[in-house]
Structure 1
Amino acid sequence: MEKKLYTIIIYTENIAGMLNQVTAEFTRRMMNIDTITASSSSVEGVHRYTISLWGEEDSVHKVTKRIAKKVDVLKADYYVDNEIFFQEVALYKLSTPRLLENNEISRIIRHNNARVIEVNANYTVVEMTGQTDTVVNLYNEFVAQDCILQFVKSGRVAVPRASQASLGDLLFDEDYKRKSVKNR
């Protein structure tokens, strides 16, 4: 079977230890998480985990189904890239002296629609939002200009492309629950 990049979106009750319970399912199956983003959702008391990983569909389906069966998990589904809108945020800390002596660095920032969010005598912080390849390509351009001091990027944030009701409606709609990954 072919390994693909999958994104798993999980909604849980906001209780201590849920992230550990979720990630333990991947550890049991020797599956390596590529990125994980955790945050509150649009529904009070509900947290959302967006996890990306490389795997075979059968394995991803099984781990998602196991996660969905947990008592405090409200919903869990997996997607391939063409089924979701996704972005990452990256911060690049650049050398201000190098930036001032090399106009190409400013051109790279503008060309990539990145945004300068802090400038001082020692460093400049640039922010960019985009898909993984775009974020990493900008990093590589800064490395080539020998101006990068630090680099950090978030995990994915994603929403499904499919038209659907609000999160609150989905979580409590019995028809939707019958169609979720729990019953695939």
Structure 2
Amino acid sequence: MEKEWFTISVYSENNVGLLNRISGIFLKRHINIEGLNVSKSEIEGISKFTIVVFTTEEWVRKIVGQIEKQIEVIRAFYHTDEETIYQESALFKIASNLLFDERQIQNIIKDNNAQIVTVSRDFFVVAKSGRRSEVNEMYSQLKPYGIMQFVRSGRIAVSKAEMQISALLQEFQTTNK
């Protein structure tokens, strides 16, 4: 089986220690978590973990099965990149003099549909949202000029297909009141 990118969505109660147990599932199988985001979901009191991995479908299926065995986990799903709509965000901190001295910097920002979020005497910060490849491309373009700091968020994603999780979560919420 060929490796590919998968987005795993985990819906769970918001309990301390769950993230540690979930990451342990990946650790035991020597699979690296490439991206991680945790946020509230569409149902109050329910969290959504979005985990990005590069592995085979066989392994991701086994991992999702193990994740669902955790007591607090209501349901877990996996999707390929083609089955999701996703974004990442990144911040680039760059020396301020480059903004004014290097015309190409302004072109890079404009061509990448990025935005300047703050400017100070010593540095400015640019925000870019998009697919991983788009963030990587902007990084490659800015790298020759010098990047003082760089940070990228975990992936946020929704599935293209309708998921029946909302009905399941509402039922879970009703029975646990």
Name the TM-score, length of structure 2 as normaliser.
Answer: 0.92
How far does the alpha carbon of each residue in 1:127-148 deviate from its partner, in whole angstroms, 9 at most, with x for none?
A: 010000100110110012x132
In 2, the alpha carbon distance for the partners of 1:65 and 1:15 equals: 19
In 1, the alpha carbon distance for the partners of 2:51 and 2:169 equals: 19
For residue 163 of structure 1, report the CA deviation from its aligned partner: 2.5
For residue 44 of structure 1, report the CA deviation from its aligned partner: 1.7
**Aligned-residue CA RMSD (Å):** 1.5
Instruction: Tell me if the contact between 1:98 and 1:147 (Cα under 8 Å) persists in the aligned partners.
Output: no
Does residue 78 in structure 1 map to residue 57 in structure 2?
no
How far does the alpha carbon of each residue in 1:141-169 deviate from its partner, in whole angstroms, 9 at most, with x for none?
A: 0012x13211100010000000245x532
* Equivalent residue letter for 2:166: G
Per the alignment, residue 136 of structure 1 pairs with: 136
Does residue 159 in structure 1 map to residue 158 in structure 2?
yes
Per the alignment, residue 89 of structure 1 pairs with: 89
* Equivalent residue letter for 1:171: L
Instruction: Tell me if the contact between 2:88 and 2:155 (Cα under 8 Å) persists in the aligned partners.
Output: yes
For residue 171 of structure 1, report the CA deviation from its aligned partner: 2.3
Per the alignment, residue 45 of structure 1 pairs with: 45
Per the alignment, residue 148 of structure 2 pairs with: 149
* Equivalent residue letter for 1:127: A
Per the alignment, residue 175 of structure 2 pairs with: none
Q: Secondary structure at the match of 1:79?
A: strand
Give percent identity, aligned residues only: 35
* Uncovered stretches (5+) of structure 1, i.e. residues with no partner: 175-184
In 1, the alpha carbon distance for the partners of 2:2 and 2:58 equals: 10
Q: Paired residues, what number?
A: 172
Per the alignment, residue 18 of structure 2 pairs with: 18
In 1, the alpha carbon distance for the partners of 2:126 and 2:35 equals: 21
Q: Secondary structure at the match of 1:93?
A: strand
In 2, the alpha carbon distance for the partners of 1:147 and 1:131 equals: 22
Instruction: Tell me if the contact between 2:43 and 2:169 (Cα under 8 Å) persists in the aligned partners.
Output: no
In 2, the alpha carbon distance for the partners of 1:152 and 1:70 equals: 31
* Equivalent residue letter for 1:51: I
Q: Secondary structure at the match of 2:148?
A: strand
For residue 173 of structure 1, report the CA deviation from its aligned partner: 5.6
In 2, the alpha carbon distance for the partners of 1:64 and 1:172 equals: 22
How far does the alpha carbon of each residue in 1:42-68 deviate from its partner, in whole angstroms, 9 at most, with x for none?
A: 222111110001111111100101111
Per the alignment, residue 5 of structure 2 pairs with: 5
Per the alignment, residue 103 of structure 1 pairs with: 103
How far does the alpha carbon of each residue in 1:75-119 deviate from its partner, in whole angstroms, 9 at most, with x for none?
A: 100010000000000000011111210111001101110011100
* Uncovered stretches (5+) of structure 2, i.e. residues with no partner: 173-177
